[in-house]
Amino acid sequence: MTTAPRDFTRKRERLTFRIDDDLFEATPALPGEVLVEFAKRFSDIDTVALDQKLDVVKDALGLVLLPDSHALFAKRFSDLENPIEYEQASEVMSWLMEVYGRRPTQPSSPSSTGQPSPASGTSSTDAAQPQVSIPATFQPTASST
């Protein structure tokens, strides 16, 4: 008996984002080595001198943006009339790291939000809710006692 091979194919969709009136496109998936390099450059951003931060951002985005998008991004990075601000570029990089890493950029909170969890079926506020065993429409009368 033969079994079908395990299929690890992934559906890859276009990865786009907008800044003002321009639409940019990044590669839908990163090869392993490029992902590691992108992550390394992204994590190194806080350790480089201020005058080198811009180069790190441009280099990192050059790894993931498709050629036309990268050229437009680089042009707008120095365009006084239609600029992309450094903070916007940092937000884009953070978002891309989240997308490529398939994990949130911020750790999840260990504390409860107070909302019931479908998995557990309980919440921290369950004890405060009254338990009613008599239908709300029931009205005792003198003859029912």
pLDDT in tens, 47-75: 888 778 888 888 889 999 999 999 999 99
pTM of the model: 0.62
Torsion angle defined by CA atoms of residues 60, 62, 63 and 68, in that order, rounded to the nearest 10 degrees = 150
Helix%, strand%, coil% for the chain, nearest 5: 40, 10, 50
How high is the mean pLDDT of the chain?
76
Amino acid at 25: E
pLDDT band at 102 (very low <50, low <70, confident <90, very high): low
Assess contact for 57 and 93: CB atoms under 8 A. yes
Residue 129 pLDDT more than 60? no
Three-class SS of residue 83?
coil
What are 102's two structure tokens? 């398939």
Angstrom distance (rounded) from CA 69 to CA 105 = 24
DSSP element (H, E) containing 24: strand 22-26
